[in-house]
Chain A
Amino acid sequence: MSNLPTKVYTATWSEHPVWKNLGLSLGIVALLLIYIPIFWLVLMSFTGDPLSGFPGNFTTKWYFSLGEHRNWLQPLFVSLAIASGVSLVSMVCATIVGRTVSRLRRKAMAVTVLAVTLLPLAIPGVIIGTALFLYFRVLLGFKMGVWSLCIGHFVWAFPFALLAVLVVALRFDPRLLDSAADLGAGPFERFWTIEFPLLKDGVIAGGLFAFLLSFNEIARSIYLKGRTETLPVYIWQQAASHSSHVVLIYSLNVLILIASTLLVGFAFRLLFGKNTQ
């Protein structure tokens, strides 16, 4: 996906069979570990008694029941909205911070910035949630709401987005910008036509990560939600009832699976597809 031109060359190092076979087979093992449970999940969503653990007695009743009881819809939209917002803000901030950090002359300063950004990752989510809650609510007296949820998610997602940008930005040669300036390009033009296209992969990867982390966030949300209800919070609360919520576990996740496959397939084709030719 690099935009660097690829020359045809012979006897590529990477064509060495060892890497091909080893890399591929290890990847297949890992992908199986991911997809066997997902396959089973799909199978169970069509099973009459999914909690018995065995497929059989196939039915589509769970999907109908999902359409009948639509309480999960509102939380789903809330989750999507928050995740989009958090993802967007993370991308912008990660680009600003990432390109600056990667160019700081004094390494100690770069490390400091990195350390304070990564700091919250070192604390379990429930504790971050509690710490923010105690700070905003008990100390400062604000009421929890969408805003606190967004802050909690941003604190979680941003470090990941930043790292994704840094992975790319650290390999960026700032002298490119000097040459561009020599050619008379203004600061914004330099950023947009030279720097950003090279950072793009990292920024997009960071934004995607941020979106996904926010979409499935639960530990922090519990403490910061106020009256807002995200999908994971909703499902978590349903799980506490003395009755089954297999519909939410199996069928809803299969629907999300289908939707996200379409979405990701579409987005990836749009983003990277042009490089195929």
Chain B
Amino acid sequence: MGLSTLQPPTKINLKGIVIFLLSWSFFVLIPIAGLLLWSFLTMENFRPVWDLSLQAYREVFASGRWEVTARTLGIASLVTLLEIVLALPFALWLSKGTKNMGLKITVLAALTIPFFLSLSARTIVWRALLGLHGPVNYALMATGVIDGPLDWLLFSQFSVILGLIGPYFPTMVFPLYLSINLIDDEMLAASTDLGATPGFTFWHVILPLAFPGLGAGIIFTFVPMIGDSVVPTLLGGGHVILLSASVESLLRILNYSVAAALSVVMLSIMVGVILVVSLVSTKIITSKSSALPEVTP
């Protein structure tokens, strides 16, 4: 038996990940750490002036950019929540509710295709649809629901939120679908056989097993939304200012230090969020999945 000479397969080869982490540090982590440095410095003609100060942080709070950060986090959380409500039942239906593979593929394709199109192009058409003289207002007035056009349909928080739902729906569905799809049908059948109600099965079998998918979905959706400048710019009409517009305005005048300070503030908040999400989901996975029988084909 030559088996003893083989390396035990569960022992992991760390070489790949170490190389990766080293390059990742060089190309990504150090530049990001640099932000912390830039936030304390000023820059003249792309040469840093070595004069440490907290001025940039004072600016963040004085010019109201702080409120922008809070508003951005608020809107992004709300839309992420809406996406969960929309996507979780849908992902469930898509992975377990239909056996029609053709339909599944069509739906998955329909969720992928919009990514190829530029977000500005997809967003700018909402302006025509929701405008004072647009078809939505027209239909509402023609049916007698309202007497005059609704001005809050466009250039308001409403339009920004509406505009965000579409583009960020697929990013929530995909990871959820992937993780739910991996749940063995037999396990669900077993749960039913043992007399569990659908609700019970959902809470105690599906949700814990779908947790990595949900965690990934939240990050996929929430994080890019924070940095989205297209939707709020085109549909907010200058009334709903979110973070990226504020940062872009700073970079336009080469005010790197305040932009860096703003990012450091944002980063601290986000790192907290991500740590909590990954810690909680890791905990739930380990506790729940170890309680369940391992599924092997």
Query: Touching in the complex, A and B, CB below 8 A?
Result: yes
Q: Which residues of A contact B (CB under 8 A)?
A: 1-7, 9, 11-16, 18-20, 22-24, 26-27, 29-31, 33-38, 40-41, 44, 53-54, 93, 96-97, 100-101, 103-104, 107, 110-111, 113-128, 130-132, 134-139, 151, 155, 159-160, 163-164, 166-168, 170-171, 173-178, 180-182, 184, 187, 190, 201-202, 205, 208-209, 212, 215-216, 219, 232, 235, 239, 249-250, 253, 256-257, 259-261, 264-265, 268-269, 272-273, 275-276
Contact of B35 among A30, A36, A131, A249 (CB under 8 A): A131
Dominant secondary structure at the A interface: helix
What are the residues of chain B within 8 A of A33 when measuring CB–CB?
Answer: 162, 165-166, 169
Contact of A115 among B85, B165, B201, B275 (CB under 8 A): B275
Is B291's beta carbon under 8 Å from chain A? no
Q: Find out whether the CB atom of A20 lies under 8 angstroms from the CB atom of B216.
A: no
Q: Please, how many angstroms separate the alpha-carbon atoms of A76 and B290 in the complex?
A: 48
Contact of B93 among A20, A110, A215 (CB under 8 A): A20
Q: Please, how many angstroms separate the alpha-carbon atoms of A216 and B289 in the complex?
A: 37
What are the residues of chain A within 8 A of B209 when measuring CB–CB?
Answer: 171
What are the residues of chain B within 8 A of A31 when measuring CB–CB?
Answer: 107, 110-111, 169
Contact of A12 among B110, B192, B266 (CB under 8 A): B192
**Apart from the given pairs A12-B192, A97-B17, 20 other A-B contacts in the complex at a CB distance below 8 Å:** A2-B182, A23-B93, A24-B90, A30-B86, A34-B166, A41-B125, A122-B266, A124-B247, A127-B259, A131-B31, A131-B34, A151-B27, A173-B296, A176-B296, A205-B174, A209-B174, A212-B112, A216-B115, A257-B116, A276-B101
Is B232's beta carbon under 8 Å from chain A? no
Most A CB contacts (10 A, CB to CB) among B113, B188, B244 go to: B113
Q: Please, how many angstroms separate the alpha-carbon atoms of A122 and B167 in the complex?
A: 19
Dominant secondary structure at the B interface: helix
Chain A min CB distance to B174 (Å): 6
Is B294's beta carbon under 8 Å from chain A? yes
Q: Find out whether the CB atom of B9 lies under 8 angstroms from the CB atom of A181.
A: yes
Chain A min CB distance to B26 (Å): 10
Query: With contacts defined as CB atoms under 8 Å apart, how many contacts are there between chain A and chain B in the complex?
Result: 352
Is B14's beta carbon under 8 Å from chain A? yes
Q: Please, how many angstroms separate the alpha-carbon atoms of A164 and B260 in the complex?
A: 30
Task: Show 14 residue pairs from A and B whose CB-CB distance is below 8 angstroms, ordered by the A residue.
Answer: A1-B181, A14-B96, A23-B94, A38-B114, A41-B117, A118-B223, A121-B270, A123-B35, A131-B263, A166-B212, A167-B179, A168-B178, A174-B10, A182-B3
What are the residues of chain B within 8 A of A155 when measuring CB–CB?
Answer: 27-28
Interface size grouping (class) on chain B:
35 or more
Closest chain B residue to A43 by CB distance?
B125
Q: Find out whether the CB atom of A264 lies under 8 angstroms from the CB atom of B112.
A: yes
What are the residues of chain B within 8 A of A208 when measuring CB–CB?
Answer: 112
What are the residues of chain B within 8 A of A126 when measuring CB–CB?
Answer: 227, 229, 244, 247-248, 251, 259
Q: Find out whether the CB atom of A134 lies under 8 angstroms from the CB atom of B6.
A: no
Is B186's beta carbon under 8 Å from chain A? yes
Is B24's beta carbon under 8 Å from chain A? yes
Contact of B10 among A34, A139, A160, A177 (CB under 8 A): A177
Q: Which residues of B contact A (CB under 8 A)?
A: 3, 6-10, 12-14, 16-17, 20-21, 24-25, 27-32, 34-35, 38, 46-48, 85-87, 89-94, 96-98, 101-102, 104-105, 107-129, 131, 133-134, 162, 165-167, 169-170, 173-175, 178-179, 181-182, 184-186, 188-189, 191-192, 196, 198, 201, 209, 212-213, 216, 219-220, 223-224, 226-227, 229, 243-244, 247-248, 251, 256, 259-260, 263, 266-267, 270-271, 273-275, 278-279, 282, 285-286, 289, 294-297
Q: Find out whether the CB atom of B17 lies under 8 angstroms from the CB atom of A100.
A: yes
What are the residues of chain A within 8 A of B129 when measuring CB–CB?
Answer: 36-37, 40
Q: Please, how many angstroms separate the alpha-carbon atoms of A169 and B75 in the complex?
A: 32
